[in-house]
């Protein structure tokens, strides 16, 4: 691959992480699950992609997210959060808050509309991003940072591009049977080794993949036990209280996820604005993601006792939230101001850009969505 060459300090950090992963493999009889490899590559203390010091977002990072494209994205989310908080509590909990821009845009829009937010909590594993968030949000005294799930929570949860970064298991169909692809070391390099899935993974495969018997040999895909477990954690956090979680990410419902054209899976890596499919390349210096199976997420939420309030593509969600009205608050006769905002909104809602690939799943307890979003619900497609 022709990718930018990291500096010597970054290379040293990656080599240290590779040694750590290799030691873990040696302690586990020569192989670990890909989910464990991905967990270490992304979250190993001080060395993982999200826990190390490298820039992740923006021009100096590896990718750009919706909040960085336009403040109208956060303003639209605020228009959904306000009525949900009115039914529950004036509190927001954001997972993986990036640079803090989404939090700032949501809080600014709610303040402009006179909607109080007593608490805005953030769970962030990246020390580099937490520092950026603290600087970006220093003028909002209600913001605080958490190291773990709160025991109980009422209010609104936001999670933009969080599910895709949760570790996945890799499975491949060989001679009519599903095999887990574990990670080993061969001649000093990480490599895959097939093995029988344990009982828990076998049950997840059966639960997650519809018509698995019809898929051809050689079919490779991802299983999402960690993300499904996250849905259960949300349910325990809401408990018998009231609130909703708004989960935005790229992915598909199950009947679109497991198609013949995705025979190689959806795993993708992001390094300095280059996308490639090689997860063993410089661990710790690149993001590793997989598309989200939204049917599996909805089932995980339902199994844990939450209601599936809505599912739709990002375009329908943002338009139902009133992003068009927010854009028209700016005068089209002022092209210097209006045109960049209009282009940003087009990128967020266009089917050729983010509007169709990105989906929104809303789950919760004891609350109802605004009518405009309820009418756009396509959860029957899950």
Model confidence pLDDT, tens digit, residues 245-261: 999 999 999 999 999 99
Instruction: Decide: residue 162, CB within 10 A, 0-12 exposed, 13-18 middle, 19+ buried.
Output: buried
Model confidence pLDDT, tens digit, residues 269-316: 998 878 999 999 999 999 999 999 999 999 999 999 999 999 999 999
- Reported as type and span, the H/E element at residue 364 is strand 358-365
In a domain, 296, yes or no: yes
In a domain, 380, yes or no: no
In a domain, 2, yes or no: no
Mean pLDDT of 37-66: 78
In a domain, 135, yes or no: yes
Instruction: Decide: residue 51, CB within 10 A, 0-12 exposed, 13-18 middle, 19+ buried.
Output: middle
Q: How far apart are the first and last CA of the chain?
A: 37
Model confidence pLDDT, tens digit, residues 196-214: 999 999 999 999 999 888 9
User: How big is the CA angle at 65 (ends 35 and 238), to the nearest 5 degrees?
Assistant: 65
- Reported as type and span, the H/E element at residue 307 is strand 307-313
What does each C-alpha distance from 329 to 316, 323, 324, 341, 348 come to in angstroms?
20, 10, 9, 11, 18
In a domain, 381, yes or no: no
Are 216 and 56 in contact by the 8 Å Cβ rule? The answer is no
pLDDT at res. 25: 98
pLDDT at res. 272: 81
Backbone phi and psi for residue 271, each to the nearest 5 degrees, phi listed first: -140, 115
Torsion of CA 4, 183, 210, 161, to 10 degrees: -40
Are 358 and 314 in contact by the 8 Å Cβ rule? The answer is yes
Instruction: Decide: residue 304, CB within 10 A, 0-12 exposed, 13-18 middle, 19+ buried.
Output: middle
pLDDT at res. 57: 46
What CA–CA distance (Å, rounded) separates 314 from 250?
9
* Closest of 87, 9, 14 to residue 49, by C-alpha: 14
Are 258 and 172 in contact by the 8 Å Cβ rule? The answer is no
User: What percent of the chain has pLDDT above 90?
Assistant: 90
What is the pTM assigned to this prediction?
0.95
- Reported as type and span, the H/E element at residue 268 is strand 268-271
Domain count along the chain: 1
In a domain, 382, yes or no: no
Strand partners of residue 28: none
The answer for residues whose C-beta is within 8 angstroms of residue 269's C-beta and 6 or more apart is 275, 276, 277, 278, 279, 281, 286, 287, 288, 289
pLDDT of residue 58 exceeding 50, the answer is no
pLDDT of residue 63 exceeding 90, the answer is no
Segments forming the whole domain that contains residue 136: 7-375
Q: What is the CATH number of the domain that holds 300?
A: 3.40.50.12710
Are 105 and 170 in contact by the 8 Å Cβ rule? The answer is no
In a domain, 249, yes or no: yes
User: How big is the CA angle at 87 (ends 86 and 90), to the nearest 5 degrees?
Assistant: 45
Res. 109 pLDDT band, cuts 50 70 90: very high
pLDDT at res. 1: 62
In a domain, 218, yes or no: yes
Model confidence pLDDT, tens digit, residues 4-43: 788 899 999 999 999 999 999 999 999 999 999 999 999 9
């Amino acid at each position: 691959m022709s990718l930018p060459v990291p500096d010597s300090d970054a290379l040293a950090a990656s080599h240290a992480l590779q040694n750590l992963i290799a030691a873990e493999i040696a302690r586990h009889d020569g192989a670990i699950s890909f989910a464990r490899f991905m967990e270490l590559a992304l979250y190993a203390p001080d060395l993982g992609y999200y826990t190390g010091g490298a820039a992740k977002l923006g021009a100096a990072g590896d990718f750009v997210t919706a909040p960085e494209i336009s403040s109208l994205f956060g303003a639209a989310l605020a228009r959904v959060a306000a009525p949900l908080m009115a039914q529950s509590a004036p509190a927001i909990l954001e997972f993986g808050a990036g640079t803090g821009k989404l939090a700032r845009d949501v809080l600014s829009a709610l303040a402009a509309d006179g909607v109080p937010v007593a608490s805005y909590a953030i769970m962030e594993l990246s020390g580099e991003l937490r520092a950026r968030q603290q600087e970006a949000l220093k003028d909002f005294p209600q913001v605080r940072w958490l190291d773990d799930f709160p025991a109980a929570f009422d209010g609104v949860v936001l999670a933009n591009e969080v599910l895709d970064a949760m570790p996945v298991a890799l499975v491949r169909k060989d001679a009519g049977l599903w095999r887990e692809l574990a990670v080993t070391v061969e001649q000093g390099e990480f490599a895959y080794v097939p093995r029988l899935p344990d009982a828990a993974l076998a049950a997840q495969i059966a639960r997650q993949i519809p018509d698995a018997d019809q898929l051809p040999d050689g079919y490779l895909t991802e299983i999402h036990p960690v993300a499904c477990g996250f849905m259960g954690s949300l349910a325990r956090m809401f408990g018998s209280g009231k609130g909703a979680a708004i989960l935005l990410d790229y992915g598909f419902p199950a009947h679109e996820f497991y198609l013949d054209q995705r025979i190689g899976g959806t795993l993708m890596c992001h390094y300095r604005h280059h996308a490639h499919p090689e997860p063993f390349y410089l661990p710790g210096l690149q993001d590793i993601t997989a598309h989200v199976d939204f049917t599996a997420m909805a089932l995980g939420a339902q199994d844990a006792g939450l209601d599936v309030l809505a599912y739709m593509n990002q375009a329908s969600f943002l338009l139902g939230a009133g992003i068009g009205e927010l854009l028209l608050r700016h005068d089209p006769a002022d092209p210097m101001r209006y045109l960049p905002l209009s282009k940003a909104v087009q990128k967020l809602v266009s089917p050729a850009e983010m509007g169709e690939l990105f989906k929104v799943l809303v789950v919760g307890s004891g609350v109802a969505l605004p009518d405009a979003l309820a009418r756009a619900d396509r959860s029957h497609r899950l």
